[in-house]
Amino acid sequence: MFRANLVYLTYNSEADVPFLASLVSSAGEELPVIAIDNASGDDSVSRVCDLGPAVVRNETNLGFTAAINQGLRRCDGEWAIIINPDVRVLEGNWLPKLLDVEDEVGIVGARLTNGIHVMGGGVVEPFESPMIRQCARPAPGGELLCDELLGWTRVTQIWGGLADFTRARDVAWVAFAVVALRMSMVRDIGLLDETYWHYVSDHEYCLRAWSHGWSVRYQPVAFWHHGNTAIVSAPPQVLEAAKNDIRQWCRIERQYLRSSAWV
């Protein structure tokens, strides 16, 4: 009997699909795949089908959040594992390690690295994103770190930084490039907020989980991830949707940070 489903979302991901087989085989447990395709214009669907899973095929690109919710509605395990197709696993038997958490933990993120920086774990080291910078109003002196724009500085003041990436700990939020969602928590707090098309739905969901009494955990299970490059090279309409997501987040994040879950 399996305890987790893998929700696997593709969009023009044919070059990455061959790595799906190694992702599943190295999990260390049975991991049925729920595959969703966001109207790819390449051979993503046929390549996934060649590996066995049936694919839910969207006629248009619904964005990350709505498509992931399609997958969550189909999960029948205790956990839903969401992993971007361009993620590579760097260690074996990763699933039992990721899910080695207490019952009150509803969200589990992993250690992500692009070979230079370590990412994930909610409060991360400063980084620069060309897409995010386009959303920022000029600050005095013309500079505004992404940490300031996304509220990470304010979260760090409450939680402290995550300097030790080798240790499991509770964090404010984790990146959904690799994440495990406990399905009992999903039923409790609802699905991801589809007013976010692509970006920042993970931030909002983690803070919503905390506000409902669930914990968010960082686990030092290692994966390699591309970073921010894919969305920057996306079509203009996708880029604009991502910008709108971040603008919306900037308007609401203070509501969460002022809630009783954060003081």
Calculate ∠ Cα 62-64-65, nearest 5°. Answer: 90
User: Looking up tokens 């995550």, which residue turns up?
Assistant: 162
**Is the model's pLDDT at 129 over the cut of 80?**
no
> Tens digit of pLDDT for each residue in 14-44?
999 999 999 999 999 999 999 999 999 999 9
Is the pLDDT higher at 25 or at 252?
25
Number of domains, the chain: 1
Give the pLDDT score at 29: 95
| Mean pLDDT within 236-253 | 71
Give the pLDDT score at 251: 66
**Is the model's pLDDT at 188 over the cut of 80?**
yes
Q: Whole domain around residue 107: which residue ranges?
A: 4-262
Give the pLDDT score at 173: 78
Give the pLDDT score at 254: 60
> b/e per residue, 194-205, with b = 16+ CB within 10 A?
eebbbbbbbbbb
Q: Which long-range contacts (CB under 8 A, 24 or more apart) does 144-149 make?
A: 149/246, 149/250
Positive or negative: CA dihedral 55, 79, 158, 156: negative
Percent of the chain with pLDDT over 90: 43
CATH code (residue 49):
3.90.550.10
